Amino acid sequence: MNNRMMAPHLMNKIKPFSKFLAILYLILTFSWTPGQRAEAAVELAKINEKTLSIEEFNKKYQENARFFQFRAPTKKSVLEDLIKRELGIQEAKKLGLDKDPEVLDKMNTVLYQSFIEKKLAKEIEAIHVTDEEAKKYYKDSPEIRTSHIFVALAADASPEQVKVAQERINKIYSDEIKPGKASFAEVAQRFSEGIAAPMGGDVDFQTKDKLDPAYYAAALKLKEPGAVSEVVRSQYGFHIIRLTAIRTWEQTDKPQIKRLVFEQRRNDAFERLMGSLRKTAKVTINDKLLKE
């Protein structure tokens, strides 16, 4: 999984679930008097054949209350929400939705996300990016400003469509860019596709995570501002790239760079986890059926 394909729930720093359980246990256990503990097995409500104990309710109430900073929900409103939820679940089961393939797939997605969170929460919580780490990362992956002349390709483009697009970008390069008949911006305005064309192909300053990997790597190889690449293929189509500028460490947004380093370390932890599972799993792939 690359750094732009991670599941949404991993895009933020995960708080250890075990810590939450420990706090919740203290709230539920030590805030009760002995008389209240005896109430734990008492039935608070019954929704058709499903019973809700006072213990279950108190747990759910605390789970709801922790999300409110200034005004906690009333116990009555939480109970009503739980009753509505249970009625909905019961009706869904009557309709057989718990066996519906689409619903089962969504449930499996939740299981997968919960597994990742449970296994990686502590490791991700412990990640701390220093200024030195961020600076070292930035040396190899700086923020760059580029312009490009672009010929788009659909993800499912046929070989013939690829050939036509490549011939078009090659002609622009050989007839316009290489001879230097006009400025790069003028050529981009005349021949480029995409939203950057009216601006002379300028896509402004971008960090590594915002650009296609092949595009970023090709731009970085140019080294000096003003240099122009040959034709480059990305997942979006064909490009001729001009490197405009490279921001120095002093000029860049350092918290943003720290975030990128954090994401990289988080993704490394994810890959280690999945790699260990892959080693002990039996996975077979019919490569002949894969078409790029």
Domains, the chain, with CATH or none: 8-125 (no CATH), 144-246 (3.10.50.40)
How far is 197 from 61, CA to CA, in rounded Å? 55
Does residue 72 sit in helix, strand or coil? coil
How far is 54 from 39, CA to CA, in rounded Å? 7
Q: Tokens 């002990």 correspond to what residue?
A: 280
**Partners of 240 in beta bridges:** 149, 231
Place 128 in a pLDDT band, splitting at 50, 70 and 90: very high
How far is 246 from 252, CA to CA, in rounded Å? 10
| Helix pair angle (54-65, 75-94), 10° resolution | 110
Whether 150 and 193 have beta carbons less than 8 Å apart is answered as yes
Q: What is the mean pLDDT of residues 187-216?
A: 96
Place 41 in a pLDDT band, splitting at 50, 70 and 90: low
- Rounded to two decimals, the pTM is 0.69
Residue 283 has phi, psi (to 5 degrees) of -125, 125
Residue 11: the pLDDT is 39
Residue 71: the pLDDT is 76
How far is 163 from 246, CA to CA, in rounded Å? 33
Place 238 in a pLDDT band, splitting at 50, 70 and 90: very high
Structure token pair of residue 147: 């312009």
Residue 10: the pLDDT is 39
Whether 262 and 128 have beta carbons less than 8 Å apart is answered as no
Burial per residue of 188-200, b for 16 or more beta-carbon CB atoms within 10 angstroms, e otherwise:
bbebbbbebbeeb
